Structure 1
Amino acid sequence: MVHGLPLAALLALFAAGAVAIWVAGIALSNSTDVLARRFGLGQALGGVILLAIATNLPEIAITASAAAAGTIGVAVGNILGGIAIQTVVLVALDAFGMPEKVPLTYKAASLTLVIEGLLVVAVLIVSIMGTQMPASLIALRITPIAVLILLFWLLGVWLIGRANRGLPWHDRAGDAPGTQEKPKGHSQAARADDAHKKGVGTTRTVIVFVAAAVVTLVAGVVLERAGDAIADHIGMTGVLFGATVLAAATSLPELSTGLASTKAGDYQLAVSDIFGGNAFLPVLFLLATLVSGQAVLPQAQKTDIYLAGLAVLLTSVYLAGLIFRPRRRVLGMGVDSLAVLALYLIGTAGLFAIAWAGGQGG
């Protein structure tokens, strides 16, 4: 039905889905923070898992919808393209969200964030390795590599939880000197306290959470179906559309909540939310495999592997920024953010070049 609509209607439908994800994503993030505090999850394993699932509901909906429809390329492109473009969200936070005239990584520098970034790199490398596995290696709609990604993520989240409780360093928090004055996550606690002062009960918060989750899931399916039809109309492959326009639309909630965190001076939380979401996204390959009944990663195209490499590169630049903490700002952002922006633009041009060369070869 969607594919029969004119392009103007499809664009309007896609825009409506993006707006719904923006609005519902903010409500979902805020209610998740409150619930995590009310149920005593905080930075614990359960809280991290709840936050990762809640903030990635658009990607979960798109992955499930694409896998069910048999458009595996859209699912894979959205997952790997989402990691790359959500890393670029940090560029926007650095350029437009810093109340202090210093780079984001200078104020956020923490060994815990370095561990979170390394987890992103680790699950991406395992994903790249999975693309080389035989497609026949699947049983009970599960592949060993998809399960391994899940186990890597759970182990990484456990290590991050250990780091949040203290590291065997002179500064047990692992924070560099001159970073944010208040502890990581103080803006979440402030939102929870504000809700308590306004008399917002737990039941109401749960209702908002469920409603926002439902809206986000439905909007995610709308984005996937409309996006796939738009790609057909304009002659763009599902992989490219999923990795660029679709991934950008699903990153809107991260941009909004990230700006709220930086404005509140919770720089570490802003970076942590991006790294945390990026580390979780490859876990969705397991979901895509379960829904489609196919080994998803072995079907990855050149563009998919390229996107995974680009995401590793961008994350590595920010890891270097967190360690070396450059104070210089160029064009209103840190030199690491400028490097990430330049690399992403060059990388996107390379992505289109690969797709074009593939089309010419076909």
Structure 2
Amino acid sequence: MFSSLIPSSIAFGIAALTIIIAGSRLARLADELADRTGMGEALFGIVLLAGVTSLPDFAATLSAAMDARPNLAMSNVMGSMAVNLAFLGIADMFYRKANLEHAAASSANLMLAGLLIVLLTLPLLAIVTPSIADWRVHPVTLVIVAAYLFGLRLVHLTQEKPMWFPRVTVQTVPDKPVETYHGSLSAAWLSFIALAAVTCVTGWVLMEAAKGIADQTGLSDTLVGGLLTALATSTPELVTTIAAIRYGALTLAVSNIFGTNCFNMLVVAAADLGYPHGSIYHDMAPVQMTWGLVSILMTAILLMGLVRRETYGIGRIGFESTLMLTVYAVAIGIVVVSG
């Protein structure tokens, strides 16, 4: 779409600014709709807001898979999941009243973290299992879809009838519906859909601009997918998460990241379906496993933070945020050296 460096850079900047503006408004509407529909912040974050912010990843990954570029496809979606978790560590810096994982503790978020770890292990298992020559789609792809749908039901049940409750402290911010709203419910839905469309389109433009920049600089598919396009297509998650924190919707902020990563596993399944040469898991470079393993490690660290609920850490940042950002930085070094 962009054949030279200057147009790509200009388009990248304009798209990023548009996403910042639209994403901020999108987070406020998501918080309002979560209350007015009775879905709650956790379920709304994983089902609707996560689906909207994941669409740029979906477009980029499926396009690369159909073009028979497995490394670009898988590094983009796997790299996006790692950078999303790093974004949650960055978001912790914006919430100064306490550690984000302390304030946003909920049984639904714990379930989401566990579900994400389960989903992340499935494509890694597919990589080490023998390829089935007569099957165009790997059986693990079907398991990913089934596990995601079953996981959504578990999250819903956990939210409706929780068997575990976080200890309420002064810093805890529960999901409390607002009693008064401006405008009708239908107007809110229309605004949400319109902003979602803007976010999706600008996210796709951002991805195309990033690819144009990468092509002009001669970077490999592994580096382009894992770093540049992964970061570009994940910008909506960063913006909506920080905006949700500013509006006080902490559960929505955390569930948006978890939900986006869980939804991205459906993107992995779509990549395998769209790949024209059999199973995509067996055609990508071994370095792609790095992002999957790193995402599992970062999710496990975050899960420990949600259970431990440290009130304040060094610089008022939780130990889990510091560890996640450190792990992500090391992963970037590994991918740059390997790619």
Tell whether the structures are fold-level matches, with TM greater than 0.5.
Answer: yes
- Contact 2:57–2:234 under 8 Å retained in 1: no
Matched, 1:255 2:238: yes
One-letter code of the match for 2:140? I
- Taking a change above 3 Å as real, the CA distance of residues 253 and 232 of structure 1, as seen in their structure-2 partners, is closer
Q: Take 2:44 and 2:172, find their aligned partners in 1: how far apart are those partners?
A: 26
Deviation at 1:284, TM superposition (A): 0.6
The aligned counterpart of 1:144 is 139
Deviation at 1:116, TM superposition (A): 1.1
The aligned counterpart of 2:304 is 320
- Taking a change above 3 Å as real, the CA distance of residues 113 and 248 of structure 1, as seen in their structure-2 partners, is same
* 2:76 partner SS: helix
- Taking a change above 3 Å as real, the CA distance of residues 23 and 224 of structure 1, as seen in their structure-2 partners, is same
* 1:56 partner SS: helix
* Per-residue CA distance 1:1-55 (angstroms, 9 max, x = gap): 53xx221222222223333333344444444555555555446978843333122
- Contact 1:137–1:143 under 8 Å retained in 2: no
Matched, 1:211 2:209: no
* Per-residue CA distance 1:82-136 (angstroms, 9 max, x = gap): 11111011111111223x1x22222223333222111111111112112234454
- Taking a change above 3 Å as real, the CA distance of residues 22 and 343 of structure 1, as seen in their structure-2 partners, is same
Report the more deviating stretch, 150-159 or 31-40: 31-40
Deviation at 1:181, TM superposition (A): 4.8
Matching of residues 99-248 of structure 1 within 5 Å = 100=97, 102-136=98-132, 139=135, 142-169=137-164, 174-178=165-169, 181-184=172-175, 186=176, 189-190=177-178, 196-197=181-182, 199-200=183-184, 202=186, 204-248=187-231
Q: Take 2:338 and 2:127, find their aligned partners in 1: how far apart are those partners?
A: 17
Q: Take 2:79 and 2:189, find their aligned partners in 1: how far apart are those partners?
A: 31
Q: Take 1:129 and 1:31, find their aligned partners in 2: how far apart are those partners?
A: 39
Matched, 1:350 2:331: no
Q: What number of residue pairs does the alignment pair up?
A: 338
Q: Take 2:45 and 2:80, find their aligned partners in 1: how far apart are those partners?
A: 22
Matched, 1:340 2:324: yes
- Contact 1:180–1:266 under 8 Å retained in 2: no
Matching of residues 19-34 of structure 1 within 5 Å = 19-34=17-32
* 2:169 partner SS: coil
- Taking a change above 3 Å as real, the CA distance of residues 137 and 148 of structure 1, as seen in their structure-2 partners, is farther
One-letter code of the match for 1:348? I
Q: Take 2:247 and 2:201, find their aligned partners in 1: how far apart are those partners?
A: 31
Q: Take 1:45 and 1:262, find their aligned partners in 2: how far apart are those partners?
A: 17
Deviation at 1:70, TM superposition (A): 3.3
One-letter code of the match for 2:297? L
The aligned counterpart of 2:63 is 65
One-letter code of the match for 1:272? S
Correspondence for 2:274 among 291, 296, 300 = 291
- Contact 1:103–1:326 under 8 Å retained in 2: yes
Alignment RMSD (CA, Å): 2.7
* 2:128 partner SS: coil
TM-score normalized by structure 1? Answer: 0.82
Percent sequence identity is 29
- Contact 1:88–1:341 under 8 Å retained in 2: yes
The aligned counterpart of 1:358 is none
The aligned counterpart of 1:331 is 315
- Contact 1:63–1:75 under 8 Å retained in 2: yes
- Taking a change above 3 Å as real, the CA distance of residues 87 and 142 of structure 1, as seen in their structure-2 partners, is same
Q: Take 1:209 and 1:138, find their aligned partners in 2: how far apart are those partners?
A: 44
- Taking a change above 3 Å as real, the CA distance of residues 23 and 63 of structure 1, as seen in their structure-2 partners, is farther
Deviation at 1:240, TM superposition (A): 1.5
Q: Take 1:293 and 1:46, find their aligned partners in 2: how far apart are those partners?
A: 34
- Taking a change above 3 Å as real, the CA distance of residues 71 and 62 of structure 1, as seen in their structure-2 partners, is same
Q: Which runs of 5+ in 2 are unaligned?
A: none
Deviation at 1:301, TM superposition (A): 1.9
Q: Take 1:131 and 1:37, find their aligned partners in 2: how far apart are those partners?
A: 41
- Contact 1:64–1:291 under 8 Å retained in 2: yes
Q: Take 1:168 and 1:212, find their aligned partners in 2: how far apart are those partners?
A: 36
- Contact 2:89–2:325 under 8 Å retained in 1: yes
TM-score normalized by structure 2? Answer: 0.87
Q: Which runs of 5+ in 1 are unaligned?
A: 356-362
